[in-house]
Amino acid sequence: MTDRYDAVLVGAGIMGATLAALLHELDPAMRLLMLERLDGPALESSAAANNAGTGHAANCELNYTPQQADGSVATAKALAINAAFERSLEFWATLRERGELDTPAFLNSVPHISFVWGQGDVAFLRQRHQQLSALPAFAGMEWSSDPAELAEWMPLVMQGRGASEPVAATRLSRGTDVDFGSLTRLYLQDLQRSGALELRTGCEVNDLTRKSNGDWSVELAGGERVQTPFVFLGAGGGALPLLQRSGIPEAKAFAGFPVSGQWLVCGDNQLASRHLAKVYGKAKVGAPPMSVPHLDTRFINGERSLLFGPFAGFSTKFLKQGSLLDLPRSVRIGNLLPMLQVGAGN
């Protein structure tokens, strides 16, 4: 007999865990199945060591406020991103009040700082500060161009820096560092305790087939099938081949590209204790947003460390525990042209 679920979520990372938590809030009677290829949840991109852990609220990410022709900065995207993160904070606070989430286990207070140098970028940051600090969402944002004060905010960044070049920074002290791996596990533990979620680890999805009644038949390794009206592919780099097998027309032009970011990590307690901030710089003109350099305080499993990067990486794997053949296996007639266009333009 084929098992039937109200929703099947492929991948036990932060995306699938968050959706499962939201579905349970909307309808506690829903029967949820989560399928994970690895031996436990949050072992790929959601693992704390595999991402920067920034609570993205547009406090310090300068690419969210591009400069306009008249010298002002656009704030609409920053406001939208900030509002979205505030909703996450509200959701977590609600779960904590009900005793369903231990926020200190994954959420730490870390100031968010934007740092620039050179006259042009200092002028840009001042304009950004003037506009954002006037908005309630960014109230309390501090500004400084005083090297001595900046050395108090971020001593490691200012150490050894010459005094001849103009520098400036803004700081919002209520920024956060998020351990998405811990958050994922907390979500899933609560859902499993409630009986709403069945989590199968070491379980790979081989195929997806749309049935005539609109339901999906999900084929697992070993030949077992489960039926559901709703499938969510939250498998990170593993989602692309499943999208392609699903046959939905929207998947035809989707492709992966072998570009990644690599980081330097410092676990020296003495050095890490001298820096408490997520400091974001400004990308050079024409450079992609992921090239923005930043020095981040991280809290992983209660331990404080520093993260610096990103540096350009190249891999044909779509997952850290994937295969070097992931990229070549994903190439189809429908996505070859988009891939070539991306390659030519970057």
Cα–Cα distance between 276 and 270 in angstroms, integer? Answer: 12
pLDDT band at 13 (very low <50, low <70, confident <90, very high): very high
Is the pLDDT confidence value at 289 over 70? no
**92-114 residue pLDDT tens:** 999 999 998 887 889 999 999 99
**197-237 residue pLDDT tens:** 999 999 999 999 999 999 999 999 989 999 999 999 999 88
Give every CB contact of residue 141 below 8 A, 6+ residues apart in sequence: 59, 129, 132, 133, 170, 171, 172
SS3 (DSSP) at 208: strand
pTM here is 0.92
The reported pLDDT for the residue numbered 311 is 86
Is the pLDDT confidence value at 346 over 70? no
Strands 3-4 and 225-228: parallel
Strands 216-220 and 225-228: antiparallel
Cα–Cα distance between 256 and 241 in angstroms, integer? Answer: 10
- Two structure tokens written together for 276: 């408490």
Which residue ranges form the domains of the chain, and what is each CATH number? 3-48+180-252 (3.50.50.60), 54-178+257-314 (3.30.9)
Mean predicted lDDT score pLDDT of the chain: 93
- Two structure tokens written together for 167: 């520098």
Strands 112-117 and 278-280: parallel
> Which comes out higher in pLDDT, residue 314 or 149?
149
Sign, Cα dihedral of 301, 305, 310, 316: negative
Is the pLDDT confidence value at 2 over 90? no
